[in-house]
Amino acid sequence: MNWSGLKGLHRKLDGMVLWLPRQRGILLKWATVVIVAVLLVSCYVCTKKSVILLVDGNETVVHTFAGTVGGVLAENGITLLDKDEVEPSLESSLQDDMVVTVKHALDLTITVDGGTIPVRTMAQQVGDVLAEYGIVAGPNDEVTPVKEAPVSPGMIIRIARVRVDTIESNVPIDYKTKKQYTVKIPTGDSRVAQEGKRGTERQIWQVTYKDDQEVNRHLAYKEVIEPAVDRVVMVGSGMVVSRGGENIRYSETMDMLATGYTYTGNNTASGTSPHYGVAAVDPSVIKMGTRFYVEGYGYATALDRGGAIKGRRIDLFFESYNEAIRWGTRNVKVYIMD
């Protein structure tokens, strides 16, 4: 038996016995390290979340370790002010693939009643903003932009207070001064035949005010309570014309169209029976009762009127039909006498 071989084998076995415990300790340590690393990676993977931030319609995907909605907003520098909205709530636990929606309110300005009001709102239309802040626009008030207009950042909403007042007053009516020429007083002289007197008119005005400033005034109604009385001044006329060897003093001349008429069986409009020297006139041109001289006819007095006698036209009476026919229709000069 080879004892030297046995000794060598003994030494090899003895070496393996000594090596095996040491190798198991090293493996145990490495296994522990691997397990801890796996646990850490697992915790990391489990803790980290993917979240969708939808801020004022803009979408962003973020990765976070935050535990609440408020935490992820703070991480991303998203601040919330008065009337801003967030969904879910800030205290909600954050979940993987969660959608967090943030809507910021808009800053606007309202000018009304002489003042400026800064406002912050989530309202969509101008009318809703006014309702939110308890501002009532009257039926005549002007809102700019209109109540149905959409709200936009930095918008200025203006309200003009409009009111319509009814104002009633009595106002004076000035009298007019009229001159009447006469041959009864010396040429160039004058005298007041009638003093003028102011009248009174009742007026009702609709007055529109915008922010207490008058912008429009409309006369809705007027009524003469007392008419004005004209002032009449008589002026001496030196106008003289010689006709048929007679000097005729007159105050005014008119070029007129003259026709002739005869008996109709009716009295004149003034009630007198028709006769030579009676003339039918338009009272708006020659007053009834006025005396005048007609070239080719002679003296006449305005005592009648007719439906066809309008404007500068006169109808002269003749005693017979033939005389009226011979007169026909002609242009004449008429001298108005006093």
Question: Which tens digit of pLDDT belongs to each residue from 282-322?
Answer: 999 999 999 999 999 999 999 999 889 999 999 999 999 99
Where are the strands (E) in 20-98, listed by range?
49-55, 58-64, 85-87
Q: What DSSP character marks residue 67?
A: S
Q: Across-strand partners of 86?
A: 102
- Phi and psi at 126, nearest 5°, equal -60, -45
Where are the strands (E) in 151-251, listed by range?
156-160, 162-173, 177-182, 190-194, 199-210, 213-226, 231-236, 240-243, 246-249
- Phi and psi at 128, nearest 5°, equal -70, -35
Going by pLDDT thresholds of 50, 70 and 90, the confidence category of residue 25 is low
What mean pLDDT comes out for the span 133-151?
95
Extract the tokens encoding 209. Answer: 């005010």
Burial of residue 230 (CB within 10 Å: 0-12, 13-18, 19+) is middle
CATH superfamily membership of 164-233? Resuscitation-promoting factor rpfb. (2.20.230.10)
Q: What DSSP character marks residue 326?
A: H
pLDDT at 17 over 50: no
Residue from 218, 230, 247, 234 nearest 186 by CA: 234
What are 53-84's pLDDT values in tens digits? 999 999 999 999 999 999 999 999 999 999 99
The reported pLDDT for the residue numbered 24 is 57
Strand arrangement of the beta sheet that strand 190-194 belongs to = 177-182, 231-236, 190-194
The reported pLDDT for the residue numbered 21 is 52
CATH top-level class of 239-336: mainly beta
CA dist 320 → 120, 303, 330 (Å):
100, 19, 18
pLDDT at 149 over 80: yes
Record the pTM.
Answer: 0.50
The reported pLDDT for the residue numbered 40 is 43
Q: Across-strand partners of 259?
A: 315, 329
CA distance 189 to 79: 98
- Domain 49-103 matching CATH 3.10.20.30: the answer reads yes
Extract the tokens encoding 319. Answer: 């005693």
The reported pLDDT for the residue numbered 23 is 58
For residues 212 and 250, the model is more confident at 212
Contacts of 176 (CB under 8 A, 6+ apart): 196, 228, 230, 231
Residue from 123, 171, 172 nearest 150 by CA: 123
Whether 118 contacts 107, CB under 8 Å? yes
The reported pLDDT for the residue numbered 259 is 96
